[in-house]
């Protein structure tokens, strides 16, 4: 709930206040429910449930063993409490770990076989699932291939044939297990191991569906790939698993969107995303996270506890994360880059906006292991109503990571006096050649740019405002075209009057 406009500091840009207000849960457009027959696994988590999920997906034995080992490990783990978020204890036995539209069967089929209710749902969300719909749009509009994940299963994956012509594999994770077992076995868990953390281990035991992407050597993926996650079934959690492999010299841009119906209960979303970039490969991963944030009293909403990590395994590889976080009741999410290959680089651009009683503890980790590695972190946090917004980030430079470079800038803004904005950066350096800069001020702008603006007749204050606002937009511009509409409201956001 936004505080009374009269209480909003006059240092703030009114457009920003309005843009933030537009994101309040009262204006949540994706909160409808799809009435569809759903098949559930029995409630709760046990070895039987893991076996049930694995059997449903007709998985090979090795994968079942992999899941069971993770379950065993998870049962002895404790939930992390270090994040600045506060939520009632989750009863992990009161969740459906598998929920699938009945007609969906074991996996995606042709579009004609998909339940029209589901198609209608995606149409309502504005996600084009019919290839001709995409083509019928504006002339020259870029194509986007979509993997639509509905609760625990992938229902449709578009443009597969066209992609296959370039050798690109774009399919649901369940299919990849059957069709490309060697690739899955080689890379699954190689970035986020089953022992990584409480939520990643849980995901490893019960993951349902997600997207698998493989870009062969030297291929520039001919279109944007995307996955649209929809949580629908009541009382269920979503545990998707995404794996993207970019072979040497390849390029892919991947988009991810997520929404959920308005429900009074809290729903758990614990996903794992693994990216692998080999020599000279580039992966651009963008997210617009818009899970149901809970109502204005703080009731309901999604617990978004996600582990996303990219491994720049090859020389001169590049991974870039861009995220716009506006949804979820509680967010616990740190998309990270392991800069293992010499000359590799990682980027993290983030705008996190919290309203009502939302809580977000989000940021990134840049782990510099190779020589001449480079990372850049730009994070903007806006907090309104009774929300708490925390940036938590780590930059680590290993003893052998010669010539590492990092630049971090994180700004936060408070709208009203009942919310909080926090910054918790961890910097750990063990190599003398490293040059690291971290700042969280709005005044420390490029002297050259300020000078230039002043030469053009702006006074210092105007020049500063221009540069700061430009910066927020810079993050927005990193988003691919397809998200431009969804993110339009956010373009009005400025960090004028930021607190730190």
Residue 9 vs 454, nearer CB to another protein = 9
The set of residues, in sequence order, having a beta carbon less than 8 Å from that of 12 and lying 6+ positions away, is 413, 415, 496, 497
- Does residue 499 touch another protein according to CB under 8 A? yes
141: contact with another protein by CB under 8 A? no
Among 65-73, 124-132, 439-447, 479-487, the segment contacting another protein (CB under 8 A): 439-447
Residue partners of 374: CB distance under 8 A and separation at least 6: 339, 344, 345, 346, 404, 405, 406
DSSP state of 231: -
* Stretch in the footprint of another protein (CB under 8 A) among 185-193, 331-339, 348-356, 422-430: 422-430
Q: Of 416, 465, 472, 490, which one interacts with another protein (CB under 8 A)? A: 416
Find the shortest distance in angstroms from Cβ 7 to another protein.
8
Q: Is residue 22 helix, strand or coil?
A: helix
Binding mask 216-255 for another protein (x = CB under 8 A): ----------------------------------------
- Segment near another protein (CB under 8 A); pick from 32-40, 197-205, 435-443, 466-474: 435-443
Q: Which stretch binds another protein (CB under 8 A): 206-214, 292-300, 342-350, 427-435?
A: 427-435
Determine if 2 is a binding residue for another protein (CB under 8 A).
no
Interface region with another protein, contact rule CB under 8 A, candidates 132-140, 194-202, 238-246, 433-441: 433-441
When asked if residue 198 is in the footprint of another protein (CB under 8 A), the reply is no
Calculate the CA 251 to chain-centre distance: 19
Q: How far apart are CA 83 and CA 63, in angstroms?
A: 31
- Main-chain dihedrals φ then ψ at residue 119, nearest 5 degrees: -60, -40
- The yes or no reply on residue 78 touching another protein (CB under 8 A) is no
Nearest to 241 by CA among 321, 126, 147: 147
**Binding residue for another protein, selected from 440, 450, 458, 491, defined by CB under 8 A:** 440
Q: How far is the CB of 82 from another protein (least distance, A)?
A: 7
Q: Which is nearer to another protein, 376 or 422 (CB)?
A: 422
| Centroid of chain to Cα 237 | 17
**Taking CB under 8 A as the rule, does residue 77 contact another protein?**
no
CB 239 within 8 A of CB 97: yes
* 487 part of the interface to another protein, by CB under 8 A: no
The DSSP-derived string for 182-228 is: HHHHHHTTSSS-TTS-HHHHHHHHH----EEEEE-TT-B-SSEEEEE
Smallest distance from another protein to CB 403, Å: 10
Beta carbon of residue 256, minimum distance to another protein (angstroms, whole number): 30
Which member of 399, 462, 474, 484 binds another protein (CB under 8 A)? 399
Q: How far apart are CA 272 and CA 66, in angstroms?
A: 15
Residues in Cβ contact with 360 at an 8 Å cutoff, skipping those fewer than 6 apart: 85, 325, 328, 330, 331, 333, 352, 354, 381, 387, 388, 389, 390
User: Contact between 437 and another protein (CB under 8 A)?
Assistant: yes
54 φ, ψ (degrees, to nearest 5):
-65, -40
Residue 79 touches another protein, criterion: CB under 8 A: no
Total residues binding another protein (CB under 8 A): 39
Q: Using CB under 8 A, pick the residue from 75, 195, 418, 449 that binds another protein.
A: 418
SS3 464: helix
Q: Interacting stretch for another protein, rule CB under 8 A, among 23-31, 334-342, 350-358, 436-444?
A: 436-444
- Quickly list DSSP for 279-330: TT-EEEEEEEE------TTS-SEEEEEEEEEEEE-STT-EEEEEEEE---SE
Task: Considering only residues 445 through 484, tell me which ones interact with another protein, judged by CB under 8 A.
Answer: none
CA 349 – CA 379 distance, rounded (Å)? 6
In whole angstroms, the minimum distance from the beta carbon of 426 to another protein comes to 5
421 binds another protein, rule: CB under 8 A: yes
Class of residue 68 by CB neighbours under 10 A (exposed 0-12, middle 13-18, buried 19+):
middle
Question: Both tokens of residue 238?
Answer: 């979503």
Does 429 bind another protein (CB under 8 A)? Our answer is: yes
**Residues 315-354: b if buried by 16+ CB within 10 A, e if exposed:** bbbbbbbbbbbbbbbbbbbbbbbbbbbbbbbbbbbbbbbb
CB of 316 to another protein, least distance (A): 24
500 binds another protein (CB under 8 A): yes
Residues that bind another protein (CB under 8 A): 8-9, 11, 82, 84, 399, 412, 414-441, 443-444, 499-500
């Amino acid at each position: 709930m936004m505080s009374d406009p009269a209480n909003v500091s006059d240092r703030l840009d009114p457009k920003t206040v309005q843009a933030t207000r537009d994101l309040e849960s009262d204006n949540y457009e994706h909160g409808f429910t799809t009435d569809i027959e759903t098949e559930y696994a029995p409630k709760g988590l046990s070895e039987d449930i893991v076996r049930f999920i694995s059997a449903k997906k007709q998985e090979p034995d090795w994968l079942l063993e992999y899941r069971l080992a993770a379950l065993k490990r998870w049962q002895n783990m404790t939930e992390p409490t270090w994040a600045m978020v506060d939520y009632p204890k989750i009863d992990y036995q009161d969740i459906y770990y598998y929920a699938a539209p009945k007609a969906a069967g074991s996996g995606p089929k042709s579009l004609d076989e998909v339940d029209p209710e589901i198609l209608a749902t995606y149409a309502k969300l504005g996600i084009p699932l019919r290839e001709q719909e995409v083509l019928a749009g504006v002339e020259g509009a870029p194509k986007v291939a979509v993997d639509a994940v509905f609760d625990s299963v992938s229902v449709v994956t578009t443009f597969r044939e066209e992609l296959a012509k370039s050798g690109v594999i774009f399919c649901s994770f369940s299919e990849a297990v059957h069709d490309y077992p060697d690739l899955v076995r080689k890379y699954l868990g190689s970035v986020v191991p089953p022992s990584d953390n409480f939520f990643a281990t849980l995901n490893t035991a019960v993951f349902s569906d997600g997207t698998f992407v493989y870009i062969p050597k030297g291929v520039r993926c001919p279109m944007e790939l995307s996955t649209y996650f929809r949580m629908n079934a009541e009382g269920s959690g979503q545990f998707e698993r995404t794996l993207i492999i970019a072979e040497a010299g390849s390029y892919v841009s991947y988009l991810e969107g997520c929404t959920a119906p308005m429900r009074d209960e809290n729903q758990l979303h614990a996903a794992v995303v693994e990216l692998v970039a080999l020599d000279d490969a580039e992966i651009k991963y963008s997210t617009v996270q818009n899970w149901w944030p809970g109502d204005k009293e703080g009731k309901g909403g999604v617990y978004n506890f996600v582990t996303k990590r990219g491994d720049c395994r090859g020389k001169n590889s590049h991974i870039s994360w861009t995220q716009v976080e506006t949804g979820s009741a509680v967010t616990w999410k740190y998309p990270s880059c392991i800069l293992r290959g010499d000359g590799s680089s990682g980027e993290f651009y983030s705008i996190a906006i919290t309203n009502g009683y939302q809580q977000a503890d989000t940021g990134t980790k840049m782990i510099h292991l190779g020589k001449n590695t480079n990372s850049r972190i730009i994070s903007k946090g806006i907090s309104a109503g009774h929300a708490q917004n925390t940036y938590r980030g780590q930059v680590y430079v290993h003893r052998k990571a010669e010539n590492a470079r990092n630049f971090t800038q994180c700004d936060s803004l408070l709208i009203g006096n009942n919310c909080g904005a926090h910054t918790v950066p961890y910097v750990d350096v063990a190599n003398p050649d490293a040059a690291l800069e971290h700042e969280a001020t709005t005044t420390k702008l490029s002297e050259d740019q300020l000078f230039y603006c002043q030469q053009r007749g702006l006074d210092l204050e105007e020049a500063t405002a221009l540069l700061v606002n430009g910066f927020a937009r810079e993050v927005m511009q990193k988003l691919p075209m397809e998200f431009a509409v969804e993110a339009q409201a956010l373009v009005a956001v400025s960090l004028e009057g930021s607190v730190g």
